[in-house]
Amino acid sequence: MAHHLAKAGYTSEILTAGTDVLARVRRNPPDLVVLDLMLPGLSGLEICRAMRADPGISGVPIIMLTARTEETDRIVGLEIGGDDYVTKPFSPKELVARIGAVLRRTHRSHPGGAPLRFGPLLVDPDRHVVTLDGEEARLTAKEFLLLKYLIEHRDRVLSRDVLLSDVWDYKYTGGTRTVDVHIRRLREKLPVLGDAIVTIKQFGYKLVEPEGPGPR
């Protein structure tokens, strides 16, 4: 993996024990973490959960890497904050492509111009911050990008395939269930979206403007 990443122009650091990861990431947060779930000392799921609970590193994108192929394992990983999930065996080129896709989407969101408003929600693309009634909400990188995309395309019906293509930036091989997982997390973290994100049966979702006055 390190060899293929170097050929693609990335600098990587390898940690072989789960107990070493959190201290290293907190000391100098990387642009992205490729996280094997089957690590000695501390599992990848525990590391992911701890990173998402730490405000200093909660926004670092995480790609999970594991030999487990069951859908339930993938969903658990996504539910606790993973941005992507790659199962072994995999093509090194595919992993490099997914890393590039996640980084492009993450970095592209920073120079986003003026903040976006949706009811009591304020999304600041430059600072990569979401506030609800003035209180900052902690979202993962992928949750932030999905929310930003939904607001930018409010009142439009968006298929799951379109969301995967435009938010995940490639043809996602894990199935469209990942969209449902991320939508559910947004609804849980931002209650104002509970009714605002409308499920279009067997197709996708639509974000509708909340009732009442307020700037768009």
Which comes out higher in pLDDT, residue 142 or 22?
A: 22
Query: What's the pLDDT tens digit per position in 28-37?
Result: 899 999 998 8
* Mean pLDDT score, 107-120: 70
| Closest C-alpha to 118, from 189, 52, 214, 187 | 214
CA-CA distance, 129 to 137, in Å (whole number)?
8
CA-CA distance, 160 to 7, in Å (whole number)?
33
Least confident of 23-37, 123-137, 159-173: 159-173
* Mean pLDDT score, 52-77: 78
pTM over 0.75: no
Report the pLDDT value the prediction gives residue 110, as an integer from 0 to 100.
46
What six digits make up the tokens of 102? 């996640």
* Mean pLDDT score, 137-150: 88
| Closest C-alpha to 158, from 189, 128, 179, 186 | 179
Domain coordinates in residue numbering, the chain? 1-108, 113-216
Q: Which fold has domain 1-108?
A: Rossmann fold (3.40.50)
Which of the following CATH numbers is that of domain 113-216: 3.40.50.1370, 1.10.10.60, 3.30.1330.30, 1.10.10.10? 1.10.10.10
What six digits make up the tokens of 85? 């999930």
